[in-house]
Amino acid sequence: MKPKDIIRTLLSSWVGRVGAAFLALMLLVSVFVLMTYPLDFGKKVWNNPVFWADYPQSAPPAWTNTFSSDARVSHTTFTADEPFDVVADSTGRYLIYRFDLGYDYDEFPAFTSFSLSGVTFSDRPPILSLSILRPDGKEVLLLRHIVPGAAAGETAPYTRYSETPFRVYLTGDQAVAYNVRDFAAGELGLSLSLAEVQAKPEAVVFGQPDGAGGFTPMPGEYRINVTALTYADADSIAEVKYVLGGTVYGLMGTDSLGRDLARGLLFGFPVALLIGVVTSVFITVIGTATGIISGYVGGKTDTFIQRLCDVLANVPLLPILIFLAFIIGQKLWLVILIMVVFGWPGLTIITRSMVMQHAASQLVEATRALGASPSRIMFRHVLFQIGPFVLSQMIFSTPGAILAEAGLSFLGLGDPSIPTWGQILESGFSTGAVYVGYWWWVLPPGLLVVFAAMTFVLLALGFEPVVNPKLRQHGTA
């Protein structure tokens, strides 16, 4: 059968078509990920807590709002690299940054944070202030900050916060709590304890007293004002950032470290493909080669290969995989290697029996009579005969590898530098996400594992008529 015919047969059944469509989708997503993600995504992004500092923790996906009676806060990040306005007076130049926020949620934000990066000044250090103007016309001053001044021996212009930004996690910050408490006392006439305010300053800032000692969210237009008082014309700020931490986030939500699950899940596509395809290709190549040699050459070679197969095929894979990953190390290539080492014998045994049938055929006998070398007969004529079968075995062994790796990762023995779906599931399971109902953390990665495995199962099913011509007569359309 020619490759064109194989593909045509595959696409003639809807099982094969669905499988092919799934595979195309996996390939497409993988290409996208490979083009847009850094190669050391695991180390640089996924396992780097600093990267996820401004993300809400354990937030469900944003689209769950559609099904919820409460409007939950969607994550909003305001950034500005240019001031909205510059006002100069006798004291200096005021760089004014302004963000408008329409707040119509039934909840308070999960957290709020403010950061500042790349401050340059040449004379006196800038003085910053952050305040929020509420819909009721009252303004809360949250923070006042003086950029550290010149140190001894330093020469102008001075730069601050260029490597690591100056960042204040407003929730839980003591200085912010003092300011908010003063605001509550002065403007709202409420005397609150510092601890009360410090735990959740957003309740006062974005809320109104509910009369029972608590606060309810106050909808309306808020304005976030950041003012920097500078003293020289060249003084500048590279970026000002205010984050309103959502109680929902993105397409897939976040985990308890604030990591965007959508990003991690997308990264799983190329990894799953790699694991599945590399493992199955190696298994197929080794299994077919040894099977053909064993079946065609016979004698001692055959006995040796068959005994080796007997031993390797009888080893229970998962316990051994777990043991070796634990002792030798958690490396992806190692896991693949182990799966290949213990995976090829099954194919060898089947291939051998098929080769023995074909080797006795008239075609092969005729070829031999014509003087063809054994290696030519083995790898041109015999391999050609069993080609479709080998191909289907390759597809069929792919889901096993994906599932095995996912299982291993689920036990916490995956390669941490390459995040996979199994690892995301593991972190969800081991931190107890299942027991508090964080379904968005445990269902999607498992579903994707099933999706990837299904892709290859469907392809293998669609492939069946190619391998087993008897089925073709029934018609599988």
Q: Which residues of the chain form contacts with another protein (CB under 8 A)?
A: 15, 307, 310-311, 314-320, 322-324, 326-328, 399, 403, 406-407, 410-413, 425, 429, 434-437, 439, 442-443, 446, 449-450, 453-454, 457-458, 461, 474, 476
Quote the least distance from Cβ 173 to another protein, whole Å.
Answer: 34
Q: Which is nearer to another protein, 389 or 410 (CB)?
A: 410
Q: Which is nearer to another protein, 363 or 443 (CB)?
A: 443
Q: Which is nearer to another protein, 207 or 412 (CB)?
A: 412
Q: Which is nearer to another protein, 56 or 276 (CB)?
A: 276
Q: Which is nearer to another protein, 10 or 458 (CB)?
A: 458
Q: Which is nearer to another protein, 152 or 327 (CB)?
A: 327
Quote the least distance from Cβ 430 to another protein, whole Å.
Answer: 9
Quote the least distance from Cβ 34 to another protein, whole Å.
Answer: 24
Quote the least distance from Cβ 463 to another protein, whole Å.
Answer: 12
Q: Which is nearer to another protein, 143 or 454 (CB)?
A: 454
3-state SS record for the chain: CCHHHHHHHHHHCHHHHHHHHHHHHHHHHHHHHHHHCCCCHHHHHHCCHHHHCCCCCCCCCHHHHHHCCCCCCECEEEEECCCCEEEECCCCEEEEEEEEEEECCCCCCCEEEEEEEEEEECCCCCEEEEEEECCCCCEEEEEEEECCCCCCCCCCCEEECCCCCEEEECCCCHHHHHHHHHHHHHHHCCCCCHHHHHHCHHHHHCEEECCCCCEEECCEEEEEEEEEEECCCCCEEEEEEEEEECCECCCCCECCCCCEHHHHHHHHHHHHHHHHHHHHHHHHHHHHHHHHHHHHHCHHHHHHHHHHHHHHHCCCHHHHHHHHHHHHCCCHHHHHHHHHHHHHHHHHHHHHHHHHHHHCCHHHHHHHHCCCCHHHHHHHHHHHHHHHHHHHHHHHHHHHHHHHHHHHHHCCCCCCCCCCHHHHHHHHHHCCHHHHCCHHHHHHHHHHHHHHHHHHHHHHHHHHHHHCCHHHHHCCC
Quote the least distance from Cβ 345 to another protein, whole Å.
Answer: 11
Q: Which is nearer to another protein, 67 or 189 (CB)?
A: 67
Quote the least distance from Cβ 468 to another protein, whole Å.
Answer: 11
